Structure 1
Amino acid sequence: MRGFLRLASIAFMSMALASAALAEGKPHRIAIQVDQNDPQVMNMALNNATSVIEYYRAKNEEVDIDVVTYGPGLHMLRADTSPVQDRIKRLKDMVFPGKIRFSACNNSKQGMEKTEGHAISIVPDATIVPSGVVHLMELQEQGWSYVRP
């Protein structure tokens, strides 16, 4: 019985070490949703992104972040109405290229253009995605973590 317990203990420790090794190799990826035209929510999303970047930078680990805006939250990435344009630029400059993305929902953009009767420009640091909600869903299906501030 003692031999069995020793073998079981060794097997358990081996599995734990293997799991830890796999966890260390797992990429850190987080999608942050912004769906409100509220500067406090936008700043909270940017605070979350900054905190995550600083945390993993201190651990010498990489992280990918995608701030996804749709509906009224698209104002965060509108060149004419964004109250956080300067922070977006500073945050982009703070990280290596490609490690943080800002995704703007094209459905929301087209809806706003129709309502307002003119074209809407998106900040240069943003990428237009067909649908913000679908983009979030697909990121989660790919294993990305999700935060809504």
Structure 2
Amino acid sequence: MASNAPAPIALRRTRLTAALAGLVFAFAAMLAAGQTVTAASAQEAEDDGGFVTHKLALQVSDNDEAAMRSALDIAANVSRFYTAKAEEVEIRIVVYGPGIDMLRPERTPVMDRLTSFDQSMPNVGFVACGNTLDSLEQAEGERPEIVSFAEEVEAGVAELIRLDETGYTMVKP
């Protein structure tokens, strides 16, 4: 006849020890998998000659001169930092909403700096939100002009998401 009595203490300890051993094994397997990924990443960098391209996306969504200047300052500082270390860096400044004035030649308070970036920092790109430009076109009766060196994308926020998914670090000054 089966007994409903609790298992002896020795049996409980055996079960507990087995459960703990299983947890330790699972944890060790997870650590080993992480080290494999790290080793694979290191191997990829070595295969590329040891070079890694750093990626930065800056968001400008406010019509605020200080925010615009801050984005440009950050881009310049990061570019200089990695250039001095002989490392590559790609920087995208994504502009949407009220921040679009940053790229409108007749409205931007930073035109001189934009021109300077275009001429001297090929690793910095400017991206304008097409949705914002569409809205302004409806409101103003004509499509706003943006600086010639800016790329227009369909949606600025979607572009930030895409950049994030491809390894860019996001910063909103």
Deviation at 1:83, TM superposition (A): 1.0
Give me the whole-angstrom Cα distance separating, in 1, the residues matched to 2:143 and 2:57: 27
Cα RMSD between the aligned structures? 2.1
Q: 1: CA distance between counterparts of 2:45 and 2:142?
A: 50
Assess if the C-alpha contact under 8 Å between 1:43 and 1:84 holds in 2. Answer: yes
The aligned counterpart of 2:126 is 102
| 1:26 and 2:49 matched | no
- Alignment correspondent of 1:120: 144
Decide whether aligned partners of structure 1 residues 42 and 20 sit closer, same or farther in structure 2, where only a CA change above 3 A counts.
Answer: farther
Q: What SS does the aligned partner of 2:100 have?
A: helix
Amino acid at match of 1:108: T
- Corresponding residue SS for 1:31: strand
Return the offset for 1:109.
0.6
Which of residues 121, 134, 145 is equivalent to 2:169?
145
Between 1 and 2, higher relative CO (CA 8 Å, sep ≥ 6) is seen in 1
- Count how many residue pairs are aligned between Structure 1 and Structure 2: 133
Tell me how far apart the structure 2 counterparts of residues 43 and 81 of structure 1 sit (CA, whole Å): 14
CA contact (8 A) 1:109 1:120 kept: yes
Q: TM-score, normalised by structure 1?
A: 0.81
* Alignment check: 8 A CA contact 1:77 1:123 kept: yes
Q: 1:22: how far off?
A: 3.6
Instruction: Find the structure with the greater CA-based Rg.
Output: 2
Equivalent of residue 36 in structure 1, options 50, 62, 65: 62
Tell me if the contact between 1:36 and 1:71 (Cα under 8 Å) persists in the aligned partners.
yes
- Give secondary structure in 2 for the equivalent of 1:146: strand
Is 1:88–1:125's contact at 8 Å kept on the other side of the alignment?
Answer: no
Give 1:46 deviation, angstroms: 0.2
Corresponding residue number in structure 2 for 1:3 = none
Supply the distance in 2 between the matched residues of 1:129 and 1:119 (Cα, whole angstroms): 14
Q: Any unmatched runs of 5+ in structure 2?
A: 1-34
Report the counterpart of residue 16 of structure 2 in structure 1: none
Alpha-carbon offset, residue 92 of structure 1: 2.1
SS in 1 for 2:57: strand
The percentage of counterpart residues that share the same residue type is 38
In the alignment, structure 1 segments of 5+ residues that lack a partner are 1-11
